[in-house]
Structure 1
Amino acid sequence: MNIAIAVIAKAPRAGHSKTRLTPPCTPQQAAGLAEAALVDTLRVVLATPCDRRVLVLDGTPGAWLPGGFEVIAQRGAGLDERLAAAFADIGGPTLLVGMDTPQLTPALLGTGTAALRAGAAAVLGLADDGGYWAIGLPDCHDALFHGVPMSADDTGAQQHRRLREHGRDPVLLAPLRDVDHFEDALAAAALMPSGSFARAVAELAA
């Protein structure tokens, strides 16, 4: 079984990236933190054994993108449509993560890919804010995503429910904390102090 790990992300850009970090951050500082989080996420994916690495991108790649990734454009209106399209465009078993959890580790991703290799019907990593940081599927149908409300307090619970409604009781990964506000950034940086994100947060905090 060939397994892909995909990252769905926005290209970091002032005024469009991590806007909930402003204030206290300026738009430029928020974009810098977004870039650092994305760099750390891509680095962890590179360190995780898999067969394909894909960046599902809204925007244009920059110098932050390392080698070893296929890049495909996001398509669709809301995030629910973009997630469904990402799985359809990649094709085959895929573990997909966002760019909001720079405390991610190869071990966490490895648990998800191992579950897919073992025949899991779905994999889901819930986030502390009510969303989710990872979702893995051996194949995809639009009905698994379309209409699931995104960026809500119960997005993770509703996605979990939708998967189970379609007979895909997911293997649950360890919960992580999304970086939405600056206190989240401080907490995530403390968990991965050697990363680019932690260094960027420390510079701002100082």
Structure 2
Amino acid sequence: MNTTGSTTWVRAHRTAVRVPGTEAPYDTAHVTMRYPALEARNDVERMSGALAADSTGAPYPVVIVVPGINVASFGYLDLAVALARAGMVVVTFDWVAELFPGQFGLTPGVDLTAVGPDTYGTKPTTAALGAVLDAVALAQEEGPLAGLLDLDKIGLFGHSAGGTVTLQSARTEWFPQVRAVVTYGAHTMASQQSAMRRGRCFLHWSTHPCC
């Protein structure tokens, strides 16, 4: 992908990662890593669109986008492309899993076992972040981004519920490689939910109609 007048090409490396502690078929997050790329150098690259990474700016800092509930990664495409053109590798993901008891959809990985009054603060409130970080670490070892990532400069961008779990989960003792956090439409205010009927307290994620 590129636009008229832009000299920076952006391409995507896609992979998938299993999320520990989850069960099939809701155990796999599909991960996309957008990166600054070189213009096609031969017919194979022109035909396939699989462009080599531009190593000029490497090692590249990494930004992981943690989405809102039921917001597909495509919703962050403009952000991802803009950041990649600015010299970053931008990671988005789509994970269909349990949102709340009995409800399934696209999720930032809310860990319902981490938000009760007896467990809050003892572990990350998103089960996805660790798995996605593992996918980034693997991309540093093999594939088109091998050796081009700065794993000591990882930032998180969280939206809505994804912003909430990002704020709650970005502790140095859990994820020391995370150095920056930005959120949009997020808060950490707690609220009683219908789950209180079962003696548990969940967080109020957002008032946004889609997430």
Larger helix percent = 1
**TM (normalized to structure 2)?**
0.30
Greater RCO (CA < 8 Å, at least 6 residues apart): 1
Structure possessing the higher radius of gyration over alpha carbons:
2
**TM (normalized to structure 1)?**
0.31
